[in-house]
Structures are given as C-alpha cells and as structure tokens.
Chains A and B, each alone.
Chain A
Amino acid sequence: MNVFQAILLGILYYLGNSSIIAGPVGYYTVYRPLVGGFLAGVVLGDPVTGTMVGATINLMYIGFISAGGALPGDMCLAGILGAALSISGGMDTEAALALAVPIGLIGTLLWFGRLTLDSIFAHMADKMVEEGKSDKIWIPSVLLPQLMLFIMTAVPCFLAAYFGTTAIQGAIDALGGTVLGILIIIGGMMPALGIGLTLLYIFKGDARVFFFLGFLITVYSGLSMIAVGFLSLCAAIVYTQLKNAKGGEANA
C-alpha cells in the first residue's frame, strides 16, 4: 500500500462519517462495511476481495441501529480497515473478520470523543446567534466540527492503514491461534446485539410471534433471506387483512 492509497482510505473513513455526502445518505452507504469495503477495494485495486470481506464484516453489524446517539461499535472503520488489511496483508476473510472486532471497538471511542467535543462548537453557535451573526452559523455548525471530524477520523485511519498491516500481522502471529479464535467467537455473537437493538423498536404486540416464525422457518428449512423476505411480506399482508376483516364485522 502506498502513501497515496492510505490517504485515500483515511478520506474514505471521514466521508462515511461526514456531512459532505448528505448525513443520512452517507450513514446508509459509505458507513456500511458492505459499501466501505468495496470502496477500500477500489482504492487498493481489488474491489472483488474488498466487497467479499466488507460483506462478511457487515454481517456483524447487520441489525445495528443508531438511536439517541448511541452506536456500539464503529462498523465503518471495521469495514474499511478490515478490507484493506485483508487485501494488502493477504489475510484470509476469517482473520480479517476477527480483526474487525477490536477495530470496531476502538472506533467507538472516536464517536464518543466527537459527540463530546462538538458541544464546544454548539456554544459558539449560541454566541453567534446572540451577536446577530446569523450568516456565520455555518462555521460552528459545519466547518469547525467537520474539520475536527476530519482530523479525528482520517488521520488515525491513514496511520492504521499505512503502518498497521505489518504491525497487526506481527501481533497476530505473536498472539497465536487462541486470540484469533476468541475474536472469531465474539464476532459470531456480535450480530445478536444489533438485532436485539432493532428488536427494541419493533418487537411489540402481535408482531412478536413472527420473530419466532422467521427464526423457525429459517432454521428448519434453510430458505434464503430473500425467500424469507417475500414470505414475511405475505404474512404481513394476510395479517392486516384478517385484522381488518375482524374489525369490519365488529363495526357492522
């Protein structure tokens, strides 16, 4: 990996977090390891491996949802660095997945730092409003926090990508198989957290039994996600129709 490629990876990580690609758009695209891994692959000249590794890492974060500013695990950093280390370090997908676990945990620190430090600029915005400088509010709203975000994200990602490959490879060799094995076990359990988080929002009332239905259908039949997706659409339609029919009778 040359310096230029590592810089591009740093910028890519910033973009995943930034407001330059409209906030919610970036969060649903570059921020996801599926897309971030692919883009890291493009930077390093191997989009196929990037996509494969990115997709595998994304599995860990499949149900992750950011609500109320809490985000357990930085999937963006995990996706970009995981793909990059796998491509330039020749690591297999499983090892890259294992590495993505600690990388994602470390990335969470950046998130806390950012949300804490941004308060400083919020007070700056208060002052500008007070002084009637409404034309300058973009400075504490966008310019300064985004500059700070750029430094907080692009620099560590660049350093990790540029110097990390050999260092991390060495660390893994030194730690041996047990650590890797444990990381893989943790990586396998991680999606449960994301799915549990999402359940907080939708595991309610009559819908609850369908969670178990989806689980059992998949476990026993091995149907693909797409098949279950369409089945769930039918289940939702049938359920609402039946419920309406009942309501209609009651009213008549």
Chain B
Amino acid sequence: MPDMENKDVMSEETTEKSKSAYSLLGKKDVKCSWLIWLFNNQANYNYERMMGIGFLHSMVPVARKLYKDDVDKQREMLQRHTGFFNCEPCVGSAVAGLTVAMEEQKAAGEEIDGEAITSVKTGLMGPLSGIGDSVIQGVIVPLLLAFAIDMASKGSFVVPIIFSLVMVAVVFGISYPLFMLGYKQGSNAILNILENGIINKIIAGANIMGCMVLGALVANYVSMNCGISIPQGEGDPFSIQAQLFDVIVPSLLPLLLTLGSYKLMKKGWSSIKVLILIVVIGIIGGLTGILA
C-alpha cells in the first residue's frame, strides 16, 4: 500500500478526472502513449533508472500535444519524468495512464504541483509491482509454463505456438485496460483497486494457487539425489536415497534446497549469489559422489 502521505495528495488532486477525459488530448495521443510504454518500457533498461527512460519516452507525445507551442513548458514537464521508474510493466501501465491524466489536468490549468505527480508515480510503482509480480510472474506464467512443458516435452510444436498466443492475450488484456483505467478514472480508481476487497480476495486466492503449484513444481522438476551408500557387510549396500529418503519423503532434498534458496534470498542474498552456491554444491557433490 502507498503510504498515507501519497494517498492524501492523490485524493486531493485528481478526484474529478473522469469528467474531463480527453479534454486536451485526443484518443490517438493517449493510445500512442500506451503503445510507446508497451513496446519500449525496457528498450533502454539501465541500473541507474531502470525503466525511467521508457517512461519518459511514453510521455513525449503527451508533452508535445499539451504544450505544442511552448518549448519551455514541454521541457519542464519532460524533466519531471527523467527519473527512476521500475514497475511490473503490464500492471505498471496503469501508472503511465494515470500520469498522462494528471499532466493533462495540469496543462488544463488545474492546480497540480509537479512534485505531486512524481510522488503519485513513485508511490504507486511499489504496490502495483507487488500485484503484477505475484499474479503474472508468480502464478499465471509458471502455471501455463508447467502445463505447456508437460505437453511439449514429447515434441508437439503446436504447444509453444498456443502458449505464445495465450501470453500475448494476457499481456494485452492487462496492459491496455489498466492504462485506460488509470487515464480515465484517475488515482482514486487505482487506490480503490489496491484496497478493494474483491481484488484482494483474488490476490489471496492467486497466492494459494501459486503456492500449491510451486510445491508441485518442486516435486516434479527439481532433482537432487544423494549418492551415498553405506556398505553393510555381506548384504547390498544401504543406499541413503533409495532406502531412507525415498521411503519417508521422496524429493526431500529438492524441497530442502528450494526452501533453503528462498530463506537465503529472504535474508538478503542476491539470486546470483544463491546461483553460485548451487553451482559450488553441484561441483563438490558431483566430485565427491555425495550427489548423484
């Protein structure tokens, strides 16, 4: 959730948006801004400002239309958008749409502080990323991928085609309506989404689905086997994997590995560091025969 300060700013500034949609901008300008955002949000992706330049770019048609004859005001508006921006791009299009609306109101003479626009923008990117990342990357994509990989591993190449079409539909189906929602309904609509009971229920449900599917993914697709077997006199050697782990909980090691990776990243380890650790474990385990 955005903090209280941002919320106050937003509710003061943009309550009447829905009445004045398209007063200065045509539908074409708004669509143009959306298309630039959709295509180019990561065209220039950099550590310094992440999607900031993509965001700036999506504001260019808006600035050029709002301040057609005033280069100074155009500059003032665009300078506001040269900063840092990073958001899950599909859900984040709501922020771009909302910013277009606020800039339009400002140009129409409403008293909107430039800083208010920036603070709305930066206040929303965190919570919206949270929703976008957990629902799209956390649930929809792994679920569809798991289905698709199951079907495609025998070589039916219709599957990747269908998967791609579904993903195109998902991206467009989220990006465009949310951009327009942000533009037409203003920040209150987005705040309502963040606080709305139904949306929160959907997210809670999605998290449950996601967790359950991830658990199944661990069981199906992570593999880690102990190669140690203890010789026991005359009988067959006692295999720790086959006669201990597989009897109690098959896939115990994959489960521990996954939870361990999660815990380390939660503690602040970067994913690259965990990756290196996995490579090291793999090399040591492979050389010594502890892992097989």
Question: If A185-B282, A235-B212 touch, does A58 touch B138 (CB 8 Å cutoff)?
Answer: no
**A65:B133 contact, CB within 8 angstroms:** yes
Check: B14 CB closer than 8 A to any chain A CB: no
Smallest distance from the beta carbon of A75 to chain B beta carbons, Å?
11
Question: If A145-B43, A193-B261 touch, does A237 touch B145 (CB 8 Å cutoff)?
Answer: no
Interface size of B as a range = 35 or more
Q: Which of B139, B152, B153, B286 contacts A181 (CB 8 A)?
A: B286
| Chain A residues touching B, majority SS | helix
Closest to A41 in B: B157
Interface size of A as a range = 35 or more
Closest to A149 in B: B43
Give bound CA distance, A178 to B50, whole Å.
Answer: 41
**B43:A215 contact, CB within 8 angstroms:** no
Q: Which of A67, A144, A236 contacts B208 (CB 8 A)?
A: A236
Check: B46 CB closer than 8 A to any chain A CB: yes
| Chain B residues touching A, majority SS | helix
**A118:B219 contact, CB within 8 angstroms:** no
1/0 contact string of B135-162 vs chain A (CB within 8 Å): 0011101110111111011111101110
Give bound CA distance, A239 to B203, whole Å.
Answer: 12
1/0 contact string of A190-227 vs chain B (CB within 8 Å): 11110111111111111110111111111100011110
**A189:B282 contact, CB within 8 angstroms:** yes
Q: Which residues of A contact B75 (CB under 8 A)?
A: 129-130, 132, 134
Stretch at the interface among B167-175, B187-195, B229-237: B167-175
Give bound CA distance, A27 to B45, whole Å.
Answer: 13
Q: Which of B42, B264, B266 contacts A19 (CB 8 A)?
A: B42
Check: B163 CB closer than 8 A to any chain A CB: yes
Smallest distance from the beta carbon of A121 to chain B beta carbons, Å?
5
1/0 contact string of B244-288 vs chain A (CB within 8 Å): 000001110011011111101110001110110011011101110
Give bound CA distance, A54 to B257, whole Å.
Answer: 24
Smallest distance from the beta carbon of B227 to chain A beta carbons, Å?
9
1/0 contact string of B33-68 vs chain A (CB within 8 Å): 000001111111111111011101100100110000
1/0 contact string of A103-133 vs chain B (CB within 8 Å): 0010010000011111101100110011010
Give bound CA distance, A239 to B206, whole Å.
Answer: 11
**B57:A141 contact, CB within 8 angstroms:** yes
Q: Which of B63, B86, B216 contacts A69 (CB 8 A)?
A: B86
Interface hits, A130-185 → B, CB 8 Å: 130, 132, 134-135, 137-138, 140-142, 144-146, 178, 181-183, 185
Closest to A32 in B: B145
Q: Which residues of B contact A73 (CB under 8 A)?
A: 275
Closest to A30 in B: B164
**B222:A239 contact, CB within 8 angstroms:** no
**B217:A63 contact, CB within 8 angstroms:** yes
Smallest distance from the beta carbon of B76 to chain A beta carbons, Å?
10
**A197:B47 contact, CB within 8 angstroms:** no
Give bound CA distance, A34 to B147, whole Å.
Answer: 12
Smallest distance from the beta carbon of A162 to chain B beta carbons, Å?
24
Q: Which of A22, A146, A193 contacts B38 (CB 8 A)?
A: A22
Check: B78 CB closer than 8 A to any chain A CB: yes
Closest to B273 in A: A72
Check: A248 CB closer than 8 A to any chain B CB: no
Smallest distance from the beta carbon of B270 to chain A beta carbons, Å?
6
Q: Which residues of A contact B281 (CB under 8 A)?
A: 189
Give bound CA distance, A25 to B249, whole Å.
Answer: 39
Question: If A51-B160, A62-B146, A204-B207 touch, does A23 touch B212 (CB 8 Å cutoff)?
Answer: no
**B134:A201 contact, CB within 8 angstroms:** yes
Q: Which of B44, B156, B168, B258 contacts A192 (CB 8 A)?
A: B258
Q: Which residues of B contact A197 (CB under 8 A)?
A: 261, 265, 271
Q: Which of B159, B171, B222 contacts A28 (CB 8 A)?
A: B171
Q: Which residues of A contact B88 (CB under 8 A)?
A: 67
Check: B26 CB closer than 8 A to any chain A CB: no
Interface hits, B162-186 → A, CB 8 Å: 163-164, 167-168, 170-172, 175
Closest to A52 in B: B155
**B46:A132 contact, CB within 8 angstroms:** no
**A24:B44 contact, CB within 8 angstroms:** no
A-B pairs with beta carbons under 8 Å apart, 23 shown: A19-B39, A19-B43, A23-B38, A47-B157, A55-B149, A69-B45, A71-B271, A140-B53, A141-B57, A142-B44, A145-B44, A185-B292, A188-B222, A188-B223, A192-B218, A192-B224, A200-B265, A202-B139, A210-B211, A214-B214, A215-B215, A215-B218, A229-B146
Q: A118-B46, A185-B286, A218-B216 are in contact. List 15 more A-B contacts (CB 8 A).
A: A23-B39, A24-B171, A34-B145, A52-B154, A54-B160, A119-B47, A125-B56, A137-B57, A190-B278, A198-B210, A201-B133, A207-B207, A225-B150, A225-B213, A240-B204
5 closest Cβ pairs, A-B complex? A214-B215, A196-B261, A118-B46, A214-B212, A215-B215
